[in-house]
């Protein structure tokens, strides 16, 4: 297998032969997915860095990998010896890829990006920047693909229907709701390329992308019908008939370009510039575009009453699996068994798989002991992992896909005797978590505005963390979902206001490079909190059910209100999970939910 340095050299040869000065390889596919099928993982294939976010820029004498602070330690390790420079995105004095290109390339230079995987918003920014400096953006070439001779084929997993009682909305109702929004925008057609939107709209699920139960497809929705573009053979005849009954006709995945080109010149096409690629839209040159967020983004983010009830049930099953795992883990530690980070992943995944309604993990389990826990998106591998022994902290971030909901939870547990510094950090992160969990705020408060509530306990100690505090979570869909995002770097856009029914993570953290990492994460559901003369208010119901380890807590550091919140949470965890566990798991649950 060729090393990344050899692949970069081959790419440079391809660029020279095509008269290109540079090539940008983003982490993306034609659906702008977070997790990519191997066929579209060109950036990882070229660089050897397999984190879920990053962009690679290659010129004749430079190669740089831009990624955010979650991945700096991992990228530094994986890029070693490749000749690729780590560009710490977001760090002071580190330009983004476009600004770097404008500073180092010359007039007349041509920069290639595979237009099939470049979102429309980025395409505009790059084209404007390059053309303003006398350079050109080339979207119809794929230099990386040209040298990737053993590129994996596209996945062919079958599509299945999400059915009641877990599917709580009729497909016809979803279609009607989006068509209403379509009319409100004055559009006759709506193009969807984002896989979670398509899966939600049609009550369909698949297995084309790791961890997310979605399938490769595009959809074109009109006033009277819908076309679903999917590879032949992925949908059987029975399901095809059920779709047809709701006005959904199947088209070959490859036929989208021709159908877009056939739209009449006066057609009005609603597109989301952040969720459709420039290459896909290049096939609809005559249609008049109306740009707005996909209506389904907001519609699916607001879970209805039945979905909320199913989510609570899924959280209980997930919590029972965690009780089983932690009971085994603590017993194994006590007897001196050899346990590695890989064992944590294996045992926890097996415990989840035994629970009713479980389908798959919702992301790759993160089990990081001591220094490995300081990498927010660390993943243990067979070739690189730690044994859990001695003293320290073990961070476990994991989740499952259940027919009735998607889970995402992080817990940190002590191994041996944690230090005073570790306990102080842990308690501070717990205070941050509780601060957001107890929040009350007006309906439509921008989600980004809530971020500082969690950071204040850390800021008071001069501490901070590099990632956002909360992301939306799908309903048996993507574990990372919008439109809400609780992030200090977020923007207060109209569609990001908090509404009742939104399911969001609460996950402040603290990371000390080379030492330890702490993150405490639950999922919270926004629920009505009353009406005053100042309007309607919301609060958070914590729906994740698993004890928060109190052995690392510095009790004197907590206020009476914080202790009361923690004790009340543990009382509810105990009440909800006791009927679902027995034996060692039951004993562990009782011990870990004792009042502080």
Tokens of 553: 């807590």
CA distances from 467 to 248, 377, 385, 485, 506 (A): 40, 11, 23, 11, 12
Residue 399 lies in a domain: yes
Q: Which residues pair with 10 in a beta bridge?
A: none
The stretch 339-361 carries a mean pLDDT of 96
Residues 312 and 291 in one domain: no
State how far the Cα of 414 lies from the Cα of 417, in Å rounded to an integer: 7
The owner of tokens 């080379």 is 514
Residue 155 lies in a domain: no
**Tens digit of pLDDT for each residue in 279-325?**
999 999 889 999 999 999 999 999 999 999 999 999 999 999 999 99
The stretch 408-423 carries a mean pLDDT of 97
8 Å CB contact between 475 and 406: yes
State how far the Cα of 479 lies from the Cα of 399, in Å rounded to an integer: 8
Q: Which of 300, 316, 331 is the last residue of a domain?
A: 300
Contacts of 169 (CB under 8 A, 6+ apart): 203, 304, 307
Q: Which of 300, 334, 354 is the last residue of a domain?
A: 300
8 Å CB contact between 518 and 412: yes
Residue 154 lies in a domain: no
Residue 394 lies in a domain: yes
Tokens of 327: 């009971």
State how far the Cα of 269 lies from the Cα of 185, in Å rounded to an integer: 10
pLDDT at 352: 98
8 Å CB contact between 484 and 500: no
Residues 270 and 332 in one domain: no
- pTM here is 0.91
pLDDT at 412: 98
DSSP string, 319-339: HHHHHHHHHHHHHHHHTT---
Residues 564 and 554 in one domain: yes
Contacts of 326 (CB under 8 A, 6+ apart): 413, 588, 592
Tokens of 524: 């919270």
8 Å CB contact between 19 and 143: no
State how far the Cα of 280 lies from the Cα of 357, in Å rounded to an integer: 36
Contacts of 292 (CB under 8 A, 6+ apart): 185, 270, 272
State how far the Cα of 371 lies from the Cα of 366, in Å rounded to an integer: 13
Phi, psi at residue 475, to the nearest 5°?
A: -105, 100
The stretch 326-330 carries a mean pLDDT of 97
CA atoms within 13 A on the CB side of 360: 17
Q: Which of 126, 147, 168 is the last residue of a domain?
A: 147
Residues 284 and 410 in one domain: no
Residues 374 and 483 in one domain: yes
For residue 9, the domain's CATH number is 3.40.350.10
* Reported confidence tier of residue 359, pLDDT bands at 50, 70, 90: very high
pLDDT at 273: 92
In whole angstroms, how large is the CA radius of gyration of the chain?
25
* Reported confidence tier of residue 68, pLDDT bands at 50, 70, 90: confident
Domain count, the chain: 3
pLDDT at 491: 63
Chain mean position to CA 424: 30
Residue 387 lies in a domain: yes
8 Å CB contact between 200 and 476: no
Residue 390 lies in a domain: yes
Residues 135 and 192 in one domain: no
8 Å CB contact between 176 and 256: no
State how far the Cα of 37 lies from the Cα of 23, in Å rounded to an integer: 21
Residues 275 and 353 in one domain: no
Residue (of 379, 517, 495) closest to 444 by Cα position: 495
**What range does the domain containing 289 cover?**
160-300
| Helices assigned H by DSSP within 264-340 | 278-281, 295-301, 305-334
The stretch 378-393 carries a mean pLDDT of 87
pLDDT at 429: 98
Neighbours of 225 (CB within 10 A): 13
DSSP string, 450-484: GHHHHHHHHHTTT---SS-SEEE--SSS-SSEEEE
Residues 344 and 466 in one domain: yes
For 547-582, letters b (16+ CB in 10 Å) and e give bbbbebbeeeebeeebbebbeebbeebbebbeebbe
Phi-psi region of 372 (alpha: psi -120 to 50; beta: other; left: phi over 0): alpha
For residue 497, the domain's CATH number is 3.90.230.10
Is the confidence at residue 383, as pLDDT, over 80? no
**Tens digit of pLDDT for each residue in 485-543?**
999 876 656 678 999 999 999 999 999 999 999 999 999 999 999 999 999 999 999 99
Q: What is the mean pLDDT of the chain?
A: 94
Residue 152 lies in a domain: no
DSSP string, 392-460: EEEEEEE-EEETTEE--EEEEEEES---HHHHHHHHHHHHHHHHHHT-EEETT-BGGGGHHHHHHHHHT
Is the confidence at residue 356, as pLDDT, over 60? yes
Residue (of 198, 188, 216, 163) closest to 29 by Cα position: 216
CA distances from 275 to 43, 230, 364, 482 (A): 19, 18, 24, 12
Residues 523 and 445 in one domain: yes
CA distances from 149 to 145, 215, 457 (A): 8, 25, 52
Is the confidence at residue 585, as pLDDT, over 90? yes
Residues 306 and 291 in one domain: no
State how far the Cα of 31 lies from the Cα of 44, in Å rounded to an integer: 17
Report the percentage of the chain scoring pLDDT > 70: 99
Residues 367 and 439 in one domain: yes
State how far the Cα of 133 lies from the Cα of 357, in Å rounded to an integer: 56
Residues 316 and 282 in one domain: no
pLDDT at 380: 77
Cα(first)–Cα(last) distance of the chain, in Å? Answer: 55
The stretch 423-451 carries a mean pLDDT of 96
pLDDT at 490: 64
Q: Classify burial at 312, counting beta carbons within 10 Å of its beta carbon; exposed 0-12, middle 13-18, buried 19 or more.
A: middle
State how far the Cα of 577 lies from the Cα of 197, in Å rounded to an integer: 33
Q: Classify burial at 39, counting beta carbons within 10 Å of its beta carbon; exposed 0-12, middle 13-18, buried 19 or more.
A: middle
Residue 413 lies in a domain: yes
């Amino acid at each position: 297998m060729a090393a990344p340095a050899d692949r970069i050299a081959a790419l440079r040869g391809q660029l020279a032969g095509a008269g290109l000065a540079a090539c940008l390889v983003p982490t993306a596919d034609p659906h702008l997915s977070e997790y990519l099928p191997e066929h579209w993982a060109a950036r990882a294939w070229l660089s050897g860095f397999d984190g879920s976010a990053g962009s690679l820029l290659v010129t004749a004498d430079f190669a740089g990998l831009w990624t955010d602070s979650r991945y700096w330690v991992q990228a530094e390790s994986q890029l070693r010896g490749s000749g690729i420079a780590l560009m710490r995105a977001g760090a002071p004095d580190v330009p983004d890829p476009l600004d770097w290109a404008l500073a180092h390339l010359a007039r007349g230079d041509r920069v290639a990006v595979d237009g099939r995987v470049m979102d429309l918003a980025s395409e505009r920014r790059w084209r404007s920047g390059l053309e303003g400096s006398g350079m050109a953006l080339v979207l119809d070439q794929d230099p990386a693909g040209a040298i990737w001779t053993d590129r994996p084929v596209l996945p062919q997993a079958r599509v299945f229907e999400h059915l009641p009682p877990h599917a709580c909305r009729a497909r016809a109702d979803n279609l009607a709701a989006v068509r209403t929004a379509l009319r409100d925008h004055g559009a006759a057609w709506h193009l969807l390329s984002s896989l979670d939107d398509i899966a939600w709209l049609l009550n369909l699920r698949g297995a084309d992308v790791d961890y997310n139960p979605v399938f490769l497809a595009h959809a074109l929705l009109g006033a009277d019908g819908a076309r679903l573009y999917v590879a032949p053979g992925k949908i059987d005849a029975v399901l095809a008939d059920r779709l047809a009954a709701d006005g959904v006709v199947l088209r070959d995945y490859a036929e989208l370009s021709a159908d877009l080109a056939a739209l009449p010149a006066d057609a009005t096409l609603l597109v989301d510039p952040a969720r459709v690629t420039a290459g896909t839209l290049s096939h609809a040159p005559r249609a008049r575009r109306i740009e707005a967020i996909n209506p389904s983004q907001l519609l699916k983010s607001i879970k209805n009453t039945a979905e909320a009830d199913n989510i609570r049930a899924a959280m209980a099953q997930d919590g029972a699996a965690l009780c089983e795992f932690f009971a085994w883990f603590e017993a194994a530690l006590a007897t001196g068994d050899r346990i590695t980070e890989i064992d944590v992943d294996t045992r926890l995944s097996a415990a989840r798989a035994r629970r009713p309604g479980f389908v798959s993990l919702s992301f790759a389990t993160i089990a990081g002991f001591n220094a490995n826990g300081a990498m927010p998106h660390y993943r243990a591998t067979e070739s690189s992992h730690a044994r859990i022994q001695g003293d320290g902290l073990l961070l476990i971030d994991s989740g499952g896909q259940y027919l009735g909901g998607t889970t995402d939870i992080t817990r940190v547990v002590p191994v041996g005797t944690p230090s005073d510094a570790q306990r102080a950090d842990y308690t501070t992160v717990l205070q941050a978590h509780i601060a957001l969990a107890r929040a009350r705020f007006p309906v439509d408060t921008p989600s980004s505005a809530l971020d500082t509530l969690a950071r204040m306990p850390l800021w008071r100690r001069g501490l901070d963390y590099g990632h956002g505090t909360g992301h939306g979570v799908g309903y048996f869909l993507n574990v990372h979902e919008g439109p809400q995002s609780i992030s200090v770097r977020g923007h207060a856009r109209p569609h990001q206001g908090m509404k009742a029914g939104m399911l969001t993570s609460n996950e402040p953290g603290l990371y000390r490079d080379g030492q330890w990492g702490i993150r405490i994460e639950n999922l919270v559901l926004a629920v009505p909190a009353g009406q005053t003369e100042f309007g309607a208010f919301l609060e958070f119901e914590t729906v994740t059910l698993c004890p928060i380890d109190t052995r690392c807590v510095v009790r004197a550091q907590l206020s009476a209100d914080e202790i009361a919140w923690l004790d009340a949470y543990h009382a509810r965890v105990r009440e909800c999970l006791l009927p679902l566990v027995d034996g060692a798991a039951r004993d562990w649950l009782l011990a870990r939910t004792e009042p502080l």
